[in-house]
Amino acid sequence: MSALLARIVAHRLFWPVVMLVVLLVINLVAFPGFFTISVRDGHLFGSLIDILRNGAPTLIIAVGMTLVIATRGIDLSVGAVAAISGAVACSIILGSPEPGSLATVAVAVTVALVISLVLGVWNGFLVAVIGIQPIIATLILMTAGRGVAMLITEGQILTVNSPPFKFLGSGFWFGVPIAVIIAAVVFGVAALVTRRTALGMFIESVGINPEASRQSGVRARGLLVVVYTFCAFCAAIAGLILTANTAAADANNTGLFIELDAILAVVIGGTSLAGGRYSLLGTLVGALVIQTLVTTVYTVGIPPIATMVFKAAVVTVVCLLQSPTTAEAFSGFRRRLAIRAGKGAAAS
Amino acid sequence: MTKLIDAPARPGRPAGPGRGGPAGGTGPGGGGTRRNVGSGIRNLMTSPKYGPVMVTAVLFVAVFVIGGVRYRGFFSGQVFLNLLVDNSYLIVLAVGMTFVILTGGIDLSVGAVVALSGMIAASLLQTGWSPGAVIPLILVLTSVLGLLVGLMIHVFKVQPFIATLAAMFLARGLCYVISQSSIAITDPTFVQLAVARIPLGGGLSITASVIIALVVVALAVWVLHATRFGRTVYAIGGGETSGLLMGLPVARTKVLVYVISGFCSGLAGVLFTFYTLSGYPLTAIGTELDAIAAVVIGGTLLTGGYGFVLGSVLGVLVLGVIQTIITFEGTLSSWWTRIFIGVLLLVFIILQKVLTARRR
């Protein structure tokens, strides 16, 4: 029994899940009807559904970010890529004669996604071929990307009136918000492709030692480009959802600070920033923790503006917990406990 | 201590970009022949240590001359001085960032700390505090924040970018907690400090911010090149383990570097507030990128170990002159500034790559 307990505690998803449960319980205490999910007009409604829906863009980006971080990289440009994709889609829809037609929206979304692939290849090229450190390589697109988005929108906030596009952000399908379905699909595809094939292992091996994996036949460069491209693709999807949700492209604010939320989700989920090991399930829990934290701040009645302070506190605590210094201190403590327990057992 | 300055075996230790050229020609075997001077200059341009700084210096002069040829009124002393006036806060930021990058670290929190300093200044001045108390308080607070970041990085082995990312969140969050909207500063002493022009003769003038920024630069040059602490900073960037084995105080230095960056961010925040005369929580977003770009363009290697404070100042001036040209052009939208900075950053990183690869 205690062995089972020890195994559960030792599982790397244990602490993230505990964090999520604690946050949910706080919400339940503050607001007893928190877990109620009702069906209105054939759509699911409730705080939990809201958490899923609002957390979807973060989760989508965090999935891409997880794979990038697993290769010992980082992608700071996701916010800028999200802004660019939103700006591209909105400007195409605005420029077309029929903004409300499905074909226009399909073209707009496709073009936005294709552009994101180009941006992703660019990031991957800088990291894998030129060999620039990932932080700096993606910093370049992060700086220049907002400028590009600004050029596309000409500094305006583009408001579109297109029901099919709006549907992408706030529509429902079989009662479930579209954003949640898209997030589930992205998550499912990433999990299947990386865990049901050897791809995930290759990604991890590149994260542990790029040179060694290259020499053992893994095409590290190509793999890095693919991973950064996938991350940019995820960012573009999230950007489209965010833009569609407000039906407006705001080059300054779309996806602002979302790279931090995504990194935070990955870190909370137990994926090490040193690369070489990742957990998509952990990232899912991490993204839910962040969104629940935001909701908790609202329900408990703390001014919502303080959310960022809480996020800072969470990321600090998580980093300190993951730190080798803390791990050493803990293992020392545990050893002392074990010795004491052993002595106690011997005495009785 | 001062004797140590002349210790490096390499000839031609540059005091600044301007002196590098002639100094490079007088190497150990330096006869007066033309070929020797030529190869000296070539060595200088392709060395990972001096090459990027030289390229930046040439670039700055070239851009300034192009501006002077294209636009009437560009080629004046006041336009140059305005570069300093408009970018004094960025110079101070870049100085702090230079220390951090020299050790191989990075500080992403500087933009948020600038905003936070502005918010603290604006809100305290509004409640009637005197500037004489507010400014030191800000500097102490931001230094303490830097200290915490440094401890997190050194003691808990958290990666610099994630620790400073947390600090960035914290600082931005605190901005919002102080106020969600812009707070104007009306305190007469503070406003006087901010707008007072110091005449230099010939119709030229600068502000107090410029003098503060230049003092910071001078102090930083002295610390980096003439103190034991400065040499330790370079040593850590060159190889932390070697520094440790040599018995250098690596731990203390690594933490102190972030304290310096925090202090500089606070001071830059005060200078920025002089410039805007208000506090606004969303201000200075992306300033960390400008600071990093200035440092990199100024020739500091991102992996640490090589670089000069004066190079970073030159980097800031390059960014400033590009901004000025975009303003003079009039038809170019200001978003181009960001794109130019991104492109320049990329070009200089590739330059660094090429130069360091050639030397290996």
- B170/A263 CB distance under 8 A: no
Do the Cβ atoms of B328 and B74 come closer than 8 Å?
yes
Token code pair at residue B336: 């181009």
What is the DSSP pairing of strand B278-279 with strand B183-184?
antiparallel
Q: Work out the minimum CA distance from A169 to partner chain B, whole angstroms.
A: 26
Q: Chain B residues with CB inside 8 Å of A309's CB?
A: 169-170, 173-174, 177
Coil/strand/helix, residue A43: strand
Token code pair at residue B70: 């294209």
What are the phi and psi torsion angles at A320 (to 5°)? -65, -35
d(CA A345, CA A245): 62
Is the pLDDT reported for residue B360 higher than 60?
Answer: no
Amino acid at B20: G
The region, left, alpha or beta by phi > 0 then psi within -120 to 50, assigned to residue A217 is left
Please give the residue that has the higher pLDDT: either B213 or B244: B213
The answer to whether residue B302 neighbours chain A at the CB level (below 8 Å) is yes
Minimum Cα–Cα distance from B172: chain A residue: A308
Q: How far from the centroid of its chain's Cα atoms is residue B61's Cα?
A: 19
Residues with Cβ within 8 Å of residue A260, at least 6 apart in sequence:
A311, B165, B168, B169
CA angle (B355 as vertex; B354, B356 as ends), nearest 5: 95
- pLDDT above 70: percentage of residues in chain B: 85
Is the pLDDT reported for residue A343 higher than 80?
Answer: no
The region, left, alpha or beta by phi > 0 then psi within -120 to 50, assigned to residue A155 is left
The answer to whether residue B157 neighbours chain A at the CB level (below 8 Å) is yes
Is the pLDDT reported for residue B21 higher than 70?
Answer: no
CATH architecture of B54-64+73-359: Orthogonal Bundle (1.10)
Kindly state the DSSP code that residue A130 receives in the 8-state scheme: I
Question: What does chain A come to in residues?
Answer: 348
Do the Cβ atoms of A42 and A175 come closer than 8 Å?
yes
- B173/A267 CB distance under 8 A: no
Q: Give per-residue pLDDT as tens, A169-224.
A: 887 888 888 899 999 999 999 999 998 888 888 888 888 888 888 888 888 899 99
Q: Give per-residue pLDDT as tens, A80-107.
A: 999 999 999 999 998 888 887 888 899 9
The secondary structure of A76-92 as a DSSP string is TTHHHHHHHHHHHHHHH
Please give the residue that has the higher pLDDT: either A71 or A340: A71
pLDDT at B10: 40
Least reliable range by pLDDT among B43-47, B181-185, B204-208: B43-47
Q: Chain B residues with CB inside 8 Å of A148's CB?
A: 335, 339
d(CA A121, CA A228): 7
**In angstroms, what is the C-alpha Rg of chain A?**
22
Q: Work out the minimum CA distance from B178 to partner chain A, whole angstroms.
A: 10
pLDDT at A345: 62
Provide mean pLDDT across the span B156-160.
86
d(CA B151, CA B163): 10
pLDDT at B358: 65
Q: pLDDT category, B34, cuts 50, 70, 90?
A: low
Where do the domains of chain B lie? 54-64+73-359
pLDDT at B359: 58
d(CA A104, CA B15): 61
Q: Give per-residue pLDDT as tens, A303-330.
A: 767 788 888 888 888 888 777 777 777 7
Closest CA to B44 of B29, B18, B25: B25
Closest CA to B265 of B132, B172, B182: B172
d(CA A185, CA A120): 20
Q: Give per-residue pLDDT as tens, B209-226.
A: 899 999 999 999 999 999
Alpha helices in chain A (DSSP H): 2-10, 14-30, 47-70, 78-95, 102-124, 134-153, 163-170, 178-195, 199-208, 210-215, 220-246, 258-268, 280-300, 307-322, 324-347
Q: Chain A residues with CB inside 8 Å of B294's CB?
A: none
What are the phi and psi torsion angles at B29 (to 5°)? -90, 15
To the nearest 10 degrees (0 to 180), the angle between helices A178-195 and A163-170 is 70
Provide mean pLDDT across the span B92-112.
92
- Which residues share a beta bridge with B207? B197
Tell me which residue has tokens 């319980």. Answer: A25
Mean of all residue pLDDT scores within chain A? 86
ipTM of the complex: 0.77
Q: Which of A273, A308, A318, A320 to mutate to test the interface with B (most CBs of B within 10 A)?
A: A308
- What is the number of other CB atoms lying within 10 angstroms of the CB of residue B128? 7
Is the pLDDT reported for residue A2 higher than 60?
Answer: yes
**In angstroms, what is the C-alpha Rg of chain B?**
21
d(CA B80, CA B77): 5
Token code pair at residue B178: 């102080």
Provide mean pLDDT across the span B118-136.
90
Provide mean pLDDT across the span B164-182.
87
Decide: pTM greater than 0.90: no
Q: Report CA dihedral (B119, B121, B122, B124) to the nearest 10 degrees.
A: 110
Q: Chain A residues with CB inside 8 Å of B168's CB?
A: 260
Restricting to A residues 233-292, those with a Cβ less than 8 Å away from any Cβ of B are: 256-257, 260, 263, 267, 273-274
d(CA B308, CA B315): 11
